[in-house]
Structure 1
């Protein structure tokens, strides 16, 4: 990758990694459905502007059923559930839980395609979930928090469902939405999800006292986390291999811990250990051979032994 691509990849991971702390700050004033609705509002407005200025096209009408499914599982449900879960779960732990998305996506894809996992995939799944469990259960015993274990694990459950929703949407998009204009796809997704979340927010709890920090957080969450991030992501995909873009997945838990540290969240040492284990699992998930694993770890590849060939001179 070029220096520009590397910097853009880091920027994308930082923006997406900051989404978790922005969700938490937004939740100080807005109920979960309103966090989702406002995030979708600002994100969709930003992408509609980009769509019109760039003269990009919306997907054909025949893709509407698949688009509705992706909007539901990739935006409407996760945006509400993350906001709901982060009422009792620190944003840094939410970022680690979100790292299970590629694991769920791989398992769903293998189930749909009836394929068997190789040994790297099996160990990657086990290692990834082990790292998440280390983080979750150690923080479940954290006495510095002001929520009960039941409330904490209920929040974990909602965030886990949100991550599963991302995975389901990923599988649907890969099968049903190939070849579409990415900006048109993202704009349609957010707009359809906005229509789904609107009645939930309208007939549910309403915000009472809106803090300025919460409003700016949800606006930044929409414009950057759900608008600008899409542009960075699809721009990277247009220039570099998808296997390189997936490096964002490895960086999100790290950024989640970083932004949580900046926000003075209590982070146990086990969280850092768990993130290392999770990232190790994600590396294994994208590995098919020992040489590829060495390349991922930046280790020198083992040279194949030279074979002596005898020639018949007769």
Structure 2
């Protein structure tokens, strides 16, 4: 990969990696569903401007059902679930749990295609989940309160469901939404996700005292994490192989730990070790194998 594209890959992973910290900051002022709604709204607004200026095309109406399902599983639910879970789980831990997304995508793809996984792939999956378990248990074991321990475990489970949502969206998009204008697809799914979240947001808790930091975090999530990063992702795919771009998957847990450390979140050696095990598992899954296998795709909107 050329140095220019390598720098863009690092920038992309850094933007997606900081999203976990931005979610935690947004949580200070906004309920989880509102974090999802505002992120979708700001991201959609940015992409509508890009779509109109660049004369991109929207997906055909006949694909509405699939578009709605992708909007639900790739945006509405994960955005809200990550915000929900990060009320008790550190952003660094959320970033590592998010590393299970390509693993879930691989398992779902294997189930759909009914193909057998190689021993290397199985080992990668086991290592990936083992690394996440190590991080979660080290974090939840840091407090002596059993009540808070249970809350952290529940928060981790909610975040894992968000990661599973990303994986489901990946499989749907790969099988049902091929060949579409990526800008039109992203604009549509963010818009649909935002519309879907409006009733839930207004029916549930409303924002109280709003901090400037939370507003800036929402803008970062929408414009950078769901807008600029999306454009950068597809620009990279146009100049580098999908396997090379998939390397962003390895970097996200590491960026999550780095941003968490900068934000003074408590980190342990076990968390770094667990993140390393997750990265090793992902590397094994993506490593070329002489046997035919399903290659997981990198999901858009990694947090």
Q: TM-score range by the shorter chain?
A: over 0.9
Q: Which residue of 2 aligns with 1:191?
A: 191
Contiguous gaps of at least 5 residues in structure 2: 291-303
Q: Provide, for residues 117-169 of structure 1, a one-character-per-residue CA deviation record: whole Å limited to 9, x for no partner.
A: 10110100011111111101111111289971111011001000000000000
Q: Map 1:260-275 to 2 at 5 A.
A: 260-275=260-275
Asked if the contact 2:143–2:149 (Cα under 8 Å) also holds between the matched residues in 1, the reply is: no
Once residues 237 and 133 of structure 2 are traced to their aligned partners in structure 1, the CA distance between those partners, rounded to angstroms, is 32
Report deviation, 1:287.
2.1
Cα 1:149/1:171, change in 2 over 3 Å = same
TM-score by length of 1: 0.90
Report deviation, 1:288.
3.7
Asked if the contact 1:120–1:288 (Cα under 8 Å) also holds between the matched residues in 2, the reply is: no
Cα 1:2/1:147, change in 2 over 3 Å = farther
Once residues 275 and 208 of structure 1 are traced to their aligned partners in structure 2, the CA distance between those partners, rounded to angstroms, is 35
Q: What is the total number of aligned residue pairs between the two structures?
A: 290
Q: Which residue of 2 aligns with 1:92?
A: 92
**Secondary structure of the residue that 2:239 maps to in structure 1?**
coil
Cα 1:54/1:147, change in 2 over 3 Å = farther
Once residues 197 and 287 of structure 2 are traced to their aligned partners in structure 1, the CA distance between those partners, rounded to angstroms, is 38
Report deviation, 1:46.
0.4
Q: Map 1:1-314 to 2 at 5 A.
A: 1-143=1-143, 148-289=148-289
Q: Provide, for residues 29-69 of structure 1, a one-character-per-residue CA deviation record: whole Å limited to 9, x for no partner.
A: 00001111111111000000000111111111111111101
Contiguous gaps of at least 5 residues in structure 1: 291-314
Once residues 206 and 167 of structure 1 are traced to their aligned partners in structure 2, the CA distance between those partners, rounded to angstroms, is 30
Once residues 33 and 145 of structure 2 are traced to their aligned partners in structure 1, the CA distance between those partners, rounded to angstroms, is 24
**Secondary structure of the residue that 2:180 maps to in structure 1?**
coil
| Larger Rg over CA atoms | 1
Q: Provide, for residues 149-191 of structure 1, a one-character-per-residue CA deviation record: whole Å limited to 9, x for no partner.
A: 1110110010000000000000000000111000000000100
Once residues 238 and 15 of structure 1 are traced to their aligned partners in structure 2, the CA distance between those partners, rounded to angstroms, is 19
Once residues 11 and 259 of structure 2 are traced to their aligned partners in structure 1, the CA distance between those partners, rounded to angstroms, is 14
Q: Provide, for residues 50-102 of structure 1, a one-character-per-residue CA deviation record: whole Å limited to 9, x for no partner.
A: 00111111111111111101000000000000000000000000000000000
Once residues 261 and 247 of structure 2 are traced to their aligned partners in structure 1, the CA distance between those partners, rounded to angstroms, is 22
Asked if the contact 2:33–2:80 (Cα under 8 Å) also holds between the matched residues in 1, the reply is: yes
**Secondary structure of the residue that 1:238 maps to in structure 2?**
helix
